[in-house]
């Protein structure tokens, strides 16, 4: 069902937008001015005195015509009126809202189809009559010229043909009110013509020649106004384009300021080489890629590597951390919003998907997306379309999608937290980034790489080697925080280093050290006593059981000992 705007529902404060910061007032997208009527009256007086009354009248009528004509176009552009009559009445209402005059319609007959328009209206509180009296005193002719121009311009825009108004009573001439009559018909039978002739309102000029002159003048004026309208629309479109580019620039600046921007993937282990092979294989296609792996394994680096090896490498890689999106603004961030979509949406904003058009978007922690947002995301993957928040226009977007999660997507689907159809759509080409404990061979490489990097960054050029004891500890550690944790450990060690040998004092609790068996393949391990080995093994088992000793699945059962025996061994070895 259509919702129509009724002229009586027009509210000034809903139409205008005052932006104190910008120093602007807008009526929808049209810039307006808050003018002092006295200053306008003064200008009018100056015009009459310098140009003569006739020339001033013509200019002021043209000025009014332009206002009325533009207001009519604006009203039709922004509101849905049930009939032309409502559209026309809105003009009279708006004239009042603008503070020019109060219009009381006495008679109105409007039939656009048949070109009929007959109007009689009373004007109350005409600012123009008031100003004329104030600056120039009583006139011998009606003086509400800008108002006449407005009525002409507005009505002509609604009817699509010329309209003739005459003001035959005017407060400026000493009458008790201003009274106007208008008609689209100007032959001998027209009441307007008869009135004009009777009252000698044209001051002795040849009436028909005058009508001809007015008519050709208006044709020219309308052409100018239409050009103005086209230029205004072009300017609005250009401004919208500039804002789009601005939001892209802001996004790109944010991206440039992010750390880990130029980090490369480092490794030589079989698991790592498998990932690199996958990246090379999928990069050049536009396939969707789902990257899984624990926190800190470098899923974002995988996404960057895919983008950098793709045909889109010169376009932006738009990165979105779904877990970091502010609650309530998830959809606005992803899909953008229209001005006024919600409190605080002061202007249109483009979402990340729109910014990524023609480029690549990487959605990290995709498992954190609310279910409702997931269905909109699915629609983008399937049809490449969406709507901005608060918008009705369907927007097409073509972006390559890379997604990542540190959770098991299958588990999320089973728990009902992730849509199965979205998962299948994303899982076209899965890449699993192995945890660091499965890439023990890479720890030495990564340690060297990070040591070099931070040695340069912190200007510690004297560091020439890494302490062997420290390296052994790094190799034995289980790295729950993966590569990112290793990077932070090395960063801290380099920052605190004093000599030329880098010592890495892991602030790690013993139970985070991997059991000896896990690194048995590594030849650099330290030799330890049997007691140490037993102690370490008990700790590892306890870590796995979460400290539970007795009962089913407890450490005692795993070790094949009665709980009391295990407790006394622990006491003897000093395992707390
Ligand atoms: Zn008047």
DSSP string, 290-301: EEE--TTS-HHH
The pLDDT assigned to 236 comes to 78
- Whole-number Å distance, alpha carbon 123 to ligand 1 midpoint, is 7
pLDDT of 262 above 50: no
Strands 116-124 and 178-183: antiparallel
- Whole-number Å distance, alpha carbon 107 to ligand 1 midpoint, is 18
The pLDDT assigned to 365 comes to 94
How does residue 261 score in pLDDT terms, banded at 50, 70 and 90?
A: very low
- Whole-number Å distance, alpha carbon 77 to ligand 1 midpoint, is 30
List the strands of the sheet with 317-321, edge to edge.
317-321, 360-364, 400-405, 289-292, 429-432
According to CATH, the topology of domain 258-434 is Rossmann fold (3.40.50)
- Whole-number Å distance, alpha carbon 101 to ligand 1 midpoint, is 10
- Whole-number Å distance, alpha carbon 56 to ligand 1 midpoint, is 16
- Whole-number Å distance, alpha carbon 84 to ligand 1 midpoint, is 26
- Whole-number Å distance, alpha carbon 113 to ligand 1 midpoint, is 31
- Whole-number Å distance, alpha carbon 167 to ligand 1 midpoint, is 7
> How do residues 130-140 score in pLDDT, each as one tens digit?
999 999 999 99
The pLDDT assigned to 263 comes to 56
Q: What separation, in Å, do the N-terminal and C-terminal C-alpha atoms of the chain show?
A: 74
User: What's the predicted TM-score (pTM) here?
Assistant: 0.50
- What the block records as the tokens of 258 is 């992010």
176 HSE (CA, 13 A, CB side) = 0
> How do residues 408-465 score in pLDDT, each as one tens digit?
999 999 999 999 999 999 999 999 999 999 998 889 888 888 888 888 888 888 888 8
- Whole-number Å distance, alpha carbon 10 to ligand 1 midpoint, is 25
- Whole-number Å distance, alpha carbon 148 to ligand 1 midpoint, is 9
Average pLDDT of the chain?
84
> What ranges in 170-206 are assigned the alpha helix state H?
191-198
- Whole-number Å distance, alpha carbon 132 to ligand 1 midpoint, is 9
- Whole-number Å distance, alpha carbon 552 to ligand 1 midpoint, is 99
- Whole-number Å distance, alpha carbon 34 to ligand 1 midpoint, is 22
Burial class (CB in 10 A: 0-12, 13-18, 19+), 335: buried
- Whole-number Å distance, alpha carbon 145 to ligand 1 midpoint, is 8
Strands 400-405 and 289-292: parallel
- Whole-number Å distance, alpha carbon 86 to ligand 1 midpoint, is 25
pLDDT of 516 above 70: no
More confident residue, 257 or 175: 175
Smallest CA-to-CA distance from 300 within 483, 555, 572 is with 483
Axis-axis angle for helices 207-257, 53-78 (nearest 10): 50
Non-local (6+) Cβ contacts of 445 within 8 A are: 266, 267, 268
- What the block records as the tokens of 557 is 């059962």
The pLDDT assigned to 258 comes to 46
> How do residues 48-83 score in pLDDT, each as one tens digit?
999 999 899 999 999 999 999 999 988 888 888 888
- Whole-number Å distance, alpha carbon 126 to ligand 1 midpoint, is 6
- Distance separating alpha carbons of residues 526 and 22, to the nearest angstrom: 70
pLDDT of 23 above 60: yes
How does residue 512 score in pLDDT terms, banded at 50, 70 and 90?
A: low
Sequence-ordered strand ranges (E) for 263-417: 289-292, 317-321, 336-337, 349-350, 360-364, 385-387, 394-396, 400-405
How does residue 162 score in pLDDT terms, banded at 50, 70 and 90?
A: confident
Smallest CA-to-CA distance from 145 within 253, 64, 235, 36 is with 64
How does residue 388 score in pLDDT terms, banded at 50, 70 and 90?
A: very high
- Whole-number Å distance, alpha carbon 124 to ligand 1 midpoint, is 9
The pLDDT assigned to 252 comes to 66
Give the residue range(s) of CATH 3.40.50.300 domains in the chain.
258-434
The pLDDT assigned to 40 comes to 92
> How do residues 460-498 score in pLDDT, each as one tens digit?
888 888 888 888 888 888 898 899 999 999 998 998 888
- Whole-number Å distance, alpha carbon 79 to ligand 1 midpoint, is 30
- Whole-number Å distance, alpha carbon 130 to ligand 1 midpoint, is 9
- What the block records as the tokens of 6 is 């009724």
92 HSE (CA, 13 A, CB side) = 21
- Whole-number Å distance, alpha carbon 180 to ligand 1 midpoint, is 8
- Distance separating alpha carbons of residues 471 and 257, to the nearest angstrom: 33
- Whole-number Å distance, alpha carbon 224 to ligand 1 midpoint, is 27
528-576: CATH number: 1.10.10
pLDDT of 256 above 60: no
- Whole-number Å distance, alpha carbon 540 to ligand 1 midpoint, is 97
Decide yes or no: CATH 1.10.8.60 for domain 438-527. Answer: yes
528 HSE (CA, 13 A, CB side) = 18
- Whole-number Å distance, alpha carbon 38 to ligand 1 midpoint, is 17
- Whole-number Å distance, alpha carbon 25 to ligand 1 midpoint, is 29
- Whole-number Å distance, alpha carbon 172 to ligand 1 midpoint, is 6
- Whole-number Å distance, alpha carbon 171 to ligand 1 midpoint, is 5
Q: Which CATH architecture has domain 7-230?
A: 2-Layer Sandwich (3.30)
- Whole-number Å distance, alpha carbon 170 to ligand 1 midpoint, is 4
Does residue 444 contact residue 436 with C-beta atoms inside 8 Å?
no
The pLDDT assigned to 525 comes to 43
Give the residue range(s) of CATH 1.10.10 domains in the chain.
528-576
Give the residue range(s) of CATH 3.30.1380.20 domains in the chain.
7-230
- Distance separating alpha carbons of residues 35 and 37, to the nearest angstrom: 6
């Amino acid at each position: 069902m259509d919702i129509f705007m009724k002229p009586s529902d027009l509210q000034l404060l809903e139409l205008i937008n005052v932006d104190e910061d910008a120093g602007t007032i807008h009526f929808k997208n049209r810039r307006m001015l808050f003018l002092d009527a006295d200053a306008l009256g003064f200008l009018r007086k100056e015009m009459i005195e310098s140009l003569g009354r006739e020339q001033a009248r013509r200019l002021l009528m043209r000025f009014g015509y332009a206002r009325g004509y533009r207001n009519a176009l604006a009203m039709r552009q922004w509101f849905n009126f049930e009939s032309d009559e409502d559209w026309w009445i809105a003009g009279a209402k708006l004239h009042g809202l603008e503070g020019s005059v109060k219009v009381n319609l006495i008679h109105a007959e409007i039939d656009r189809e048949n070109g009929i328009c007959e109007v009689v209206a009373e004007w109350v509180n005409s600012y123009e009559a008031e100003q004329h009296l104030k600056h120039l005193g009583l006139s011998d002719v009606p003086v509400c010229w800008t108002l006449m121009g407005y009525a002409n311009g507005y009505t002509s825009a609604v009817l699509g043909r010329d309209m003739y108004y005459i003001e035959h009573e005017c407060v400026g001439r000493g009458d008790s009110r201003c009274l106007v009559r208008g008609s689209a018909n100007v032959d001998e039978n027209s009441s307007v013509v008869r009135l004009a002739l009777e009252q000698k309102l044209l001051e002795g000029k040849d009436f028909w020649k005058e009508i001809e002159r007015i008519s050709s003048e208006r044709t020219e004026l309308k052409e100018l106004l239409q050009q103005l309208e086209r230029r205004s629309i072009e300017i609005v479109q250009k401004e919208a384009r500039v804002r789009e580019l601005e939001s892209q620039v802001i996004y790109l600046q944010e991206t440039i300021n992010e750390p880990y921007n130029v980090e490369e993937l480092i490794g030589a282990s079989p698991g790592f080489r498998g990932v690199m092979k996958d990246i090379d294989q999928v990069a050049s296609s536009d396939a969707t890629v789902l990257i899984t792996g624990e926190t800190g394994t470098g899923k974002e680096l995988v996404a960057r590597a895919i983008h950098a090896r793709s045909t889109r490498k010169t376009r932006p890689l738009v990165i979105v951390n779904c877990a970091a999106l502010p609650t309530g603004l998830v959809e606005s961030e992803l899909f953008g919003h229209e001005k006024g979509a919600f409190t605080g949406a002061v202007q249109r904003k483009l979402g990340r998907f729109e910014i990524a058009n023609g480029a690549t978007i990487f959605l990290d922690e995709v498992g954190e997306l609310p279910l409702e947002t997931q269905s909109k995301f699915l629609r983008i993957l399937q049809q490449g379309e969406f709507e901005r928040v608060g918008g009705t226009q369907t927007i097409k977007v073509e972006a390559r999608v890379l997604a990542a999660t540190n959770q098991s997507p299958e588990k999320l689907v089973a728990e009902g937290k992730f849509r199965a159809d979205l998962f299948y759509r994303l899982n076209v080409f899965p890449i699993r980034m192995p945890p660091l404990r499965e890439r023990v061979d890479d720890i030495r490489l990564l340690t060297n790489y990070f040591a070099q990097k931070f040695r340069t960054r912190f200007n510690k050029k004297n560091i020439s080697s890494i302490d062997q004891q420290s390296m052994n500890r790094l190799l034995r550690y289980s790295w729950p925080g993966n590569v990112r944790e290793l990077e932070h450990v090395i960063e801290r060690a380099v920052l605190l280093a004093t000599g030329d040998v880098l010592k890495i004092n892991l602030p790690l609790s013993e139970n985070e050290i991997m059991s000896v068996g896990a690194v048995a393949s590594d030849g650099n391990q330290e030799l330890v006593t049997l007691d140490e080995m037993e102690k370490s093994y008990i700790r590892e088992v306890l870590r796995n059981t979460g400290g539970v000793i007795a009962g089913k699945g407890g450490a005692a059962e795993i070790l094949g000992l009665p709980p009391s025996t295990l407790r006394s061994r622990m006491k003897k070895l000093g395992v707390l």
